[in-house]
Amino acid sequence: MVDRYVSTLDETDRQYIVEYLNETDESREKALDEIKRWLTEEKPDLHARSEEKHILPFLRGCKFNLDKTKAKLTNYYTMRRDRPEWFQNRDPSLPLIQELVKLGVFVPLKLSHEKKLVVVIRTAAHNPRRHKMEDVFKAGKMIYGVVAIFDMAGVGIGHALQLSPSMIRNAVHAWQNYHCKPKQLEFINAPVHVNLMLNIFKGFMSEKLKKRVRVHFKGSGQLHEAVERKVLPPEYGGDGDDMESLIGYWNEAAGVPRLVC
């Protein structure tokens, strides 16, 4: 017997998915059946997970456009094959991953912004001589990041040297093909030379993603215009929990919340 997806969304969320994602009970069932058929009959070489709970986020991320969903699934599982180091050894109990969690490289905030989870990414929190960029990306893959705040305070040449053009291309490719790609990319405390690096990133971005990038050169001044103050930590001009308590909270709560991958 097929284990069908059963919606547990409340009425507000149901209205949202109908209006903005083109998702109804009927369209969802038909789309899931088609993607499962496609994976089994046409794309067995992808070795993709065929459970409905894993397919549905990709459909929603593509607003139930089947062609876009198939392309995104193909790109995502191709990346898993071609960049295995990003997807192996991601257990949050592993020592190097635990170090990155404790350093607060990726910190989810407790409150959401317009139902999107907000994540602070401190780009200079890790030691580039100790932590590989692959491990930094693994820590990030474990969180639901939709509004991403990149705190660039303290970024040095060692951090910049970790970001080769191929690494940047793969990172952007992952953002754009994962089912929960960021809706906002806010760069704060940006050094004056940040545009050199961002231009490389933007060279691999879609036009849609480019429009979601904002740079704040002096502190986090206008960040509250993008994210509510009640969501942000006081370090970023908000009224929420401070960064130290958030890092401690996620460490005590069994590491970091994990993505379904």
One-letter-per-residue 3-state SS of the chain: CCCCCCCCCCHHHHHHHHHHHCCCHHHHHHHHHHHHHHHHHCCHHHCCCCCHHHHHHHHHHCCCCHHHHHHHHHHHHHHHHHCHHHCCCCCCCCHHHHHHHHHCCEEEEEEEECCEEEEEEECCCCCCCCCCHHHHHHHHHCCCCCEEEEECCCCCHHHHHCCCHHHHHHHHHHHHHCCCCCCEEEEECCCCCHHHHHHHHHHCCCHHHHCCEEECCCCCCCHHHCCCCCCCCHHHCCCCCCHHHHHHHHHHCCCCCCCCC
Greater model confidence, 22 or 10 = 22
pTM of this structure: 0.65
Confidence of residue 225 (pLDDT cuts 50, 70, 90): confident
Confidence of residue 148 (pLDDT cuts 50, 70, 90): confident
**171 vs 203: CA distance, rounded Å:** 12
Confidence of residue 256 (pLDDT cuts 50, 70, 90): very low
* Tens-digit pLDDT profile for residues 97-127: 566 666 667 777 877 777 777 888 776 554 4
pLDDT of residue 2: 59
Q: What is the mean pLDDT of residues 6-35?
A: 90
Confidence of residue 156 (pLDDT cuts 50, 70, 90): low
Q: Residue 134: is its pLDDT beyond 50?
A: no
Closest C-alpha among 198, 201, 178 to residue 188: 198
pLDDT of residue 133: 42
Q: Which of the listed ranges 24-33, 169-178, 180-189 does the model predict with the highest average pLDDT?
A: 24-33
Q: Residue 41: is its pLDDT beyond 90?
A: yes
pLDDT of residue 52: 93
Own/partner long-range contacts of 135-140 (Cβ < 8 Å, ≥24 apart): 135/96, 135/97, 135/100, 136/100, 136/105, 137/86, 137/171, 137/174, 138/86, 138/87, 138/89, 138/90, 138/97, 139/97, 139/100, 139/101, 139/105, 139/106, 139/256, 140/105, 140/106
pLDDT of residue 34: 98
Q: Residue 149: is its pLDDT beyond 50?
A: yes
Q: Report the range of poorest mean pLDDT among 22-36, 106-120, 197-211.
A: 106-120
Name the amino acid, one letter, at 79: M
**Burial class of residue 53, CB neighbours in 10 A (0-12, 13-18, 19+):** exposed
Q: What is the mean pLDDT of residues 195-223?
A: 81
